Structure formats: C-alpha cells, structure tokens
Amino acid sequence: MISTNDVKPGMALNLPEGLFSVVEYQHVKPGKGKAFVRMKLKNARTGAVIDRTFRAGENLPSARIDRRDFTFLYSDDMGFHVMDGETFEQSALPAELVSDDADFLTEGMTIRIAMFEGTPVELELPASVELEVTFAEPGVKGDRVSGATKPVTLSTGKIVQAPLFIEEGDILKIDTRTGDYITRVT
C-alpha cells in the first residue's frame, strides 16, 4: 500500500479495475474542504487513460513492475518469440501486447518488457530503429521541392513518408514512438 501523498508519475497501481500507471498527478487544496489528489491513470493492458480523484492521504495498492531486457527472435502464428537476456528462456508474446510495435521489430533486436506477477503487460522499444528500404518510387528529375516526401516501404512492411532522394537499399532511422522518418543512415 502506498499513500496518495507519495505517488509520483510513472508509478504502478494495482486498482480493482486493473493495473494502471500514473501519467499525471496533482495535489489540490481547495479554500474550503479537505485536500484531494487528482490523477490521470493509464491502463497497462488496454492503454485507456482515465481520470480518478482520491482523498489526500488515502492508501492505494501499489504494484511492483519488473522490467527486463529480451531479444526478439522471430514471429509466427503462435506469437512473437523472445528470449530472456538473463536466463536465456524463450517465450511467445501475444499479438495483442505487441500490436503496432510489430512494424519495428527486427530479428536480434533488444527490447524491454514490463512484467507484473510474471505476466508481460507492456513492451518498450528503443527510441529509434534502423530499417532498410525495400521499395521506393524513383525520384523524378526536377521534382526536388524542399520538404517534399514520398511513401517508402521498409523491410518490416511498414510504409513511411521519406524525402524524395531516398532509394531502395537505403537504411533509414525511424522514430518508434511516432513512426516518422528521422534520417538516412546509408
């Protein structure tokens, strides 16, 4: 149990509605009445964000989240297979947990998985990944307007907007949080 006075953003709470992480925390002391705490909480399983209000000093059940590094091996119809970096134990992650992050996973990539009571609840990718361009329309001579982009297909199948000078075989750095092109590596 943890007091609402000790809660900080990033902490995990095991509420009756499920496992939540604290996104925002605000302690409010109105001119009249008792102080209260207003929080924005993100559901670890669904990603839904809710607003909750608690009395100041109220005790809440805290959750211990264990974050460990795993190596992504491959994916198939059984799920996304990873190997624990410490025990070398292999396991399969369900597709619901990986969801949109599958567009950035490459074999041998190190990812961080948040575990609650032995169950994976969240996948954390590196801030950026380097992926090869497998298909890009050729740039037309004279079509070099500043800031113009074109769709390119990456080795994982993801399509991103990239500058006109990008060609097939180029390695691009992609932001995993937004899915945007950052720069050309080679």
71-124 pLDDT, tens digit each: 999 988 888 999 998 889 999 988 888 888 888 998 999 999 988 888 888 888
CATH number of the domain residue 22 falls in: 2.30.30.30
Q: What confidence score (pLDDT) does residue 141 get?
A: 63
Contact criterion met (CB below 8 Å) for 174 and 183: no
**Could you give the number of structural domains in the chain?**
3
pLDDT of residue 96: 82
Task: Among 60, 83, 108, identify where a domain stops.
Answer: 60
- For the segment 58-77, the average pLDDT, to the nearest whole number, is 90
What pLDDT, on the 0 to 100 scale, is given for residue 133?
Answer: 93
Confidence of residue 42 (pLDDT cuts 50, 70, 90): confident
Give per-residue pLDDT as tens, 148-177: 888 999 998 999 999 888 889 999 999 988
For residue 156, the domain's CATH number is: 2.40.50.140
Asked whether residue 140 carries a pLDDT value surpassing 80, the answer given is no
Same domain, 48 and 7: yes
Do 98 and 137 sit in the same domain of this protein? no
What is the pLDDT, as a whole number, of residue 145? 62
Which structural domain range is residue 38 located in? 2-60
Q: Select from 60, 76, 92 the last residue of a domain.
A: 60
Give residue 144's pLDDT. 61
pLDDT of residue 146: 67
Residues 40 and 76 reside in one and the same domain: no
Shared-domain flag, residues 70 and 119? yes
Residue 38 has pLDDT above 90, yes or no: yes
Domain boundary among 24, 40, 60: 60
State what percent of residues in the chain have pLDDT above 70. 96
